[in-house]
Amino acid sequence: MSLKWLKWSQQLQAIAQIGLTYSQSPYDSERYQQIRQIAAEIMATYAHEAPTYVCDLFSKEEGYATPKVDVRGAVFHNNQILLVKEREDGCWTLPGGWVDVGESPSQAVVREVYEESGYHTQIVKLLAIYDRNHPRHQHPPIRHHVYKLFFQCQLIGGSPAESTETTEAAFFTAHDIPELSLTRVVPSQISRLFEHYRNPEWQADFD
């Protein structure tokens, strides 16, 4: 199924959000509100949601529209990678999540790994910056445009623990990866991270 509708609605929402941020004309503001409504109707139609629900979500976005930032920690140990099991869907993912305001990406990923797995880590290097919306990654569609930052992390302590978002934390080989939470990470990304681990001289991927 083509996801052009998602790209169109996100772009229209961004135009409307930026216009409403900077417009000083009430007439222009009214037009930008109309564009936001059209964007909400497009997304609601194909996502099978109520237009009022989507429009309410859009209206909470303020300022200049930019992609959100998601960080993920690739923690390798004995040729295995750390995954955590999500409470939300019962599937597995790399520990990580949104970067909070006021923290750097590296701080965010160290925090997320500890909160979701119980392990203490330190950053080794940036492995990849991926555009979640790019078709080659094959993530299920969401309303946000997201950049995903993958960091290699070194295990320095701690023990496996559950959290408010996760129920398990465990290490897996490249050939024993469990069912993944595809909204968060996809198999091709896990495979690529293992390749980076085996080739430490590689530079970071992008897009």
Are 77 and 127 in a shared domain?
Answer: yes
Are 53 and 82 in a shared domain?
Answer: no
Kindly report, residue by residue over 108-131, the tens digit of the pLDDT.
Answer: 999 999 999 999 999 999 999 999
Report pLDDT for 124: 97
Are 92 and 173 in a shared domain?
Answer: yes
The CATH code of the domain that includes 135 is 3.90.79.10
- Beta-sheet pairing, 166-172 with 96-98: unpaired
Kindly report, residue by residue over 24-78, the tens digit of the pLDDT.
Answer: 999 899 999 999 899 989 988 988 888 888 888 888 888 888 899 999 999 999 9
Are 160 and 119 in a shared domain?
Answer: yes
Are 103 and 170 in a shared domain?
Answer: yes
Are 140 and 106 in a shared domain?
Answer: yes
Domain count, the chain: 2
- Residue 61 C-alpha from the chain's centroid: 17
Domain that residue 155 falls in: 68-206
Are 159 and 102 in a shared domain?
Answer: yes
Report whether pLDDT(99) > 60: yes
Are 164 and 199 in a shared domain?
Answer: yes
Are 47 and 25 in a shared domain?
Answer: yes
Report whether pLDDT(174) > 60: yes
Are 116 and 78 in a shared domain?
Answer: yes
Percent residues over pLDDT 70 in the chain: 99
Are 143 and 126 in a shared domain?
Answer: yes
Which pLDDT band holds residue 135 (cuts at 50, 70, 90)?
Answer: confident
Are 130 and 98 in a shared domain?
Answer: yes
Report whether pLDDT(2) > 90: no
Report pLDDT for 1: 47
